[in-house]
């Protein structure tokens, strides 16, 4: 029987242990078991989380994170991982049963079959699916046709945060997580090793008002990401999203990456259609479960 312990904040040693479990799980499954937001919440001083550690024989066998702030629907959101060495020993089930059950959503990254079986056993059903798509960018990419009056330039730290957050909120007011991005969130990501302002492309209109942006990310020398593409609703429908996407893809290719990935909601048919026309194909999917 796994020994479970809750913590409001992880110590440096606990965070190192959890990182070891996450890396072991990713090495086996080929996909990270938790998202970027969870890793940020594992840092000293981070708030709004509860961390659940499961130990077997004195070793960390599993980890679960609960976002107490939750999504825009008022749901608490959990993510978890079980060390491959301790799978099929009841650790995952113990973690899920110990989570606060009211208004609970749980992510299963990569749609792992074990997660699906556990969800069915415990009475959870799929309520959301986030597709991961990818594109080889070694071949030619179309030249973006920038609309008249639009100029595109890189993000300037300390100057552009407020404008990005404003447009992001307008573009993603429907999104459970993205629409809540704050200036503090942007500044925190500016401190990440991967952050590169040259890969954060902003489109301004003739009045120097931000119309849209494409935030790119480089994961490895070979893999980049369409991290966020946001277009102000007043500018949607004119092709600016496609222009910004292409500009970001060309930037990533200039950095030497061979493949680019992105996440898109499965029910966002318009976005899926755009990405499919650009040559993106389905890689896998993250699934969110609820009772």
Cβ proximity of 272 and 266 under 8 Å: yes
**Residue 285, annotated ligand binder?**
no
| Alpha-carbon Rg for the chain in angstroms | 20
**Residue 236, annotated ligand binder?**
yes
Name the residue among 150, 138, 125 with its Cα closest to residue 235.
150
Neighbour order of strands in the sheet with 104-108: 3-7, 49-56, 59-67, 76-82, 104-108, 281-290, 125-136, 259-265, 223-231, 210-220, 200-204, 151-154
**Residue 270, annotated ligand binder?**
yes
**Residue 17, annotated ligand binder?**
no
Measured at the alpha carbon of residue 248, what is the angle toward residues 43 and 214, in degrees to the nearest 5? Answer: 60
**Residue 269, annotated ligand binder?**
yes
Locate 141 and state its tokens. Answer: 């990419």
Cα–Cα distance, 266 to 53 (Å, whole number):
32
DSSP state of 10: -
**Residue 240, annotated ligand binder?**
yes
**Residue 242, annotated ligand binder?**
yes
DSSP state of 221: T
**Residue 76, annotated ligand binder?**
no
**Residue 55, annotated ligand binder?**
no
Look-up of token digits 């980890």 = 63
**Residue 275, annotated ligand binder?**
no
**Residue 243, annotated ligand binder?**
no
**Residue 199, annotated ligand binder?**
no
Cβ proximity of 224 and 110 under 8 Å: no
**Residue 273, annotated ligand binder?**
yes
**Residue 231, annotated ligand binder?**
yes
**Residue 272, annotated ligand binder?**
yes
User: For strand 3-7 and strand 59-67, is the pairing parallel, antiparallel, or unpaired?
Assistant: unpaired
**Residue 179, annotated ligand binder?**
no
Name the residue among 104, 46, 112 with its Cα closest to residue 82.
112
Name the residue among 38, 34, 42, 39 with its Cα closest to residue 10.
42
3-state SS, residue 4: strand
Binding-site entries: 36, 80-82, 177, 217, 225, 229-231, 236-242, 263, 268-273
Binding-site entries for acetyl-CoA: 80-82, 229-231, 236-242, 268-273
């Amino acid at each position: 029987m796994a020994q479970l312990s809750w913590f409001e904040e992880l110590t440096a040693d606990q965070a190192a242990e959890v990182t070891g479990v996450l890396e072991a799980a990713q090495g086996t499954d080929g996909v990270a078991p938790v998202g970027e937001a969870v890793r940020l919440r594992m840092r000293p001083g981070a708030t709004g989380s509860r961390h659940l550690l499961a130990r077997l024989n004195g070793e960390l066998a599993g980890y679960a994170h609960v976002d107490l702030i939750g999504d825009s629907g008022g749901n608490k959101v959990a993510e978890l991982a079980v060390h491959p060495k301790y799978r099929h020993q009841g650790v995952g089930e113990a973690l899920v049963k110990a989570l606060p059950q009211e208004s609970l959503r749980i992510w299963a990254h990569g749609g792992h079959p074990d997660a699906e079986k556990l969800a069915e056993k415990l009475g959870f059903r799929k309520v959301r699916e986030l597709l991961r798509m990818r594109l080889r960018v070694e071949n030619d990419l179309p030249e973006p046709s920038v609309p008249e009056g639009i100029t595109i330039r890189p993000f300037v730290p300390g100057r552009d945060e407020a404008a990005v957050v404003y447009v992001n909120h307008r573009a993603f007011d429907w999104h459970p997580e993205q629409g809540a991005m704050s200036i503090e969130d942007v500044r925190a990501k500016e401190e990440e090793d991967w952050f590169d302002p040259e890969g954060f492309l902003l489109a301004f209109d003739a009045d120097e008002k931000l119309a849209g942006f494409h935030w790119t990310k480089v994961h490895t020398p070979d893999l980049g990401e369409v991290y966020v593409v946001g277009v102000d609703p007043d500018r949607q429908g004119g092709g600016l999203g496609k222009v910004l996407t292409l500009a970001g893809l060309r930037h990533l290719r200039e950095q030497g990456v061979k493949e680019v990935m992105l996440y898109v909601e499965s029910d966002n048919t318009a976005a899926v259609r755009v990405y499919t026309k650009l040559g993106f194909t389905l890689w896998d999917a993250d699934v969110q479960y609820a009772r």
